[in-house]
Structure 1
Amino acid sequence: MNASLPLHLTAIASLADRERELSDPQAIVVGTTHAFGTYWLAPRLAEFSKLNPDVDLRLAVNDELVDISKQRIDMTIRFGGGSWPSMSSRFLIGCEVTPVCHPSYWDGRRRPAGPGDLLGEMLLGIEGRSVQGGGWSDWFQAHGVETAKGKHQITVNNFSVLMQAALSGQGIALGGSPLVDDLFASGVLVPALELAPYRVRGSDYYVVEPAGQVRKQSCEKFCSWLYDRMRRDAAMTNNEHLLVEAQKSHR
């Protein structure tokens, strides 16, 4: 078990050694990113297991673009533009970002009136493959703010660390729906200012499989549940528009 992963996720170190499990038609190995696995998928897995007690589900958590054929992963949930070599992909849901923080961050201070006012705040940034929506520079540019770098900034390379910093009241992060929807609902994160979320083309979630692969019955069951649950969640959070793949949007 990888100690860096949350305990509720199962990290598979070497799928090549899982011949017995993978030969089982009711077994399925699903790849996912740390962010999606932690903040959306893991909290909902009990529902899938209850509906499909015969399916043996395993998660392979990795933010890198691994070769899922060589890693013996049946399918993976990837974040990006939807096109990967030798892979077939199906759109799952779009991602919108908005500045978020813990309610205690303001500590009685007046909240900012507009995007430019955030330049004086502690901005929590992210780099690498975990970036959702292009990061702060793209967000400021999209909102007409010329200075793309704030006065104070802490940068990490892991979305879970980013969210933990925000949850601890350390600063303001760009959080994306659907990942932060549960955190909004519980009140532990709030929008940093009243502004419509920002959607960037190329920042969507897809279900990805090796091209030409014949799906196992267990994979069909998982996909059916995944898309149904995503639709239900989107309806509850007024995010039905994210169920439509964006053709034209800001970059």
Structure 2
Amino acid sequence: MWGEPVNISCSPSLAMLWLTLRLGSLYRANPDMAFRVVGESDRVDPSRMSREGIAAAVRLGAAGSEDAKAVDLLDEWLVPVAAPSFMQAHPELRKASKLKGSQLLHAADPGEGGEPTEEWAQWLGAVGMDLAPSALRQGTQFNLSLLAVQAALGGQGIAMGRLALVLHYLTSGRLVLAFPSGCFPTRRTASSAALPIPPRRPCWPGCSTRRRVSASSAMPTSRARASRRPRSAAPARA
């Protein structure tokens, strides 16, 4: 007998570009469970999680959490990505110094704070380039990272991708690194959460650290320890 689905609340971009691609592994590890994924950007509220039977809440944001039961899942890295066709159509972009503001794709997901142009400004500063704020604003702006990635896939420009969200497209060849300029730290260096996990540093050129993905969870995973909610608050299962 299957019980009620296990509810997972997840930031929309992370749900679409990261979590959904891993559901197969989740089901293989838990063949007797069903899952319900809800994309939302609300601030994690442990009392709401308990009240609504949410087993895990996963968010993109600055490292650390006010929830003592939260854990960091992975470090994030910023990496400029574009469709191969876009890079082929703009051979001058072999040098990042030739980049124009109108070619940039910006995104700022709800709940994270910051301006849509902030990530590009951080990366450009890390590689020693300076684009005026007016030039940065010439690029298309989106309110979700997944929209900027989708625009990049359509050859509309260069998106500042989060490595965890674009790795699938990089390995499949649908996106390529626009500027393999090395890895650089940014102003938002990740710090340890309540239950820290040793950072996993992927050796991928052209990326820079930014922030971590953290989760408030009732379910321990193979990569992270998670504090359990009181048993009475756990979702019903067979």
TM-score of the pair, normalised by structure 2:
0.70
Q: Secondary structure of 2:104's partner?
A: strand
Range with bigger deviation, 194-203 or 170-179: 194-203
Q: Secondary structure of 2:170's partner?
A: helix
Q: How do residues 188-199 of structure 1 correspond to structure 2 at under 5 angstroms?
A: 188-199=174-185
Aligned length: 194
2:193 aligns with: none
Q: Distance in 2 between matches of 1:63 and 1:133?
A: 20
AA aligned to 2:131 is T
1:29 aligns with: 7
Q: Measure how far apart 1:84 and its partner are.
A: 3.0
Please say if 1:135 is aligned against 2:119: yes
Asked if 2 retains the 8 angstrom alpha-carbon contact of 1:95 and 1:133, the reply is no
Q: Measure how far apart 1:162 and its partner are.
A: 0.8
Give the CA RMSD over aligned residues. Answer: 2.8
Q: Measure how far apart 1:134 and its partner are.
A: 4.2
AA aligned to 1:115 is A
Q: Distance in 2 between matches of 1:97 and 1:140?
A: 11
Q: Secondary structure of 1:155's partner?
A: strand
Q: Distance in 1 between matches of 2:87 and 2:67?
A: 48
Cα distance 1:142–1:74, how it changes in 2: closer, same or farther (>3 A)?
A: same
Uncovered stretches (5+) of structure 2, i.e. residues with no partner: 191-210, 226-238
Q: Distance in 2 between matches of 1:120 and 1:79?
A: 26
Q: Distance in 1 between matches of 2:57 and 2:185?
A: 22
Higher relative contact order, structure no. (Cα contacts within 8 Å, ≥ 6 residues apart): 2
Identify the match of residue 74 of structure 2 among 93, 96, 103.
93
Q: Distance in 1 between matches of 2:124 and 2:214?
A: 26
Range with bigger deviation, 140-149 or 28-37: 140-149
Please say if 1:116 is aligned against 2:94: no
AA aligned to 1:100 is V
Cα distance 1:133–1:52, how it changes in 2: closer, same or farther (>3 A)?
A: farther
Q: Secondary structure of 1:169's partner?
A: coil
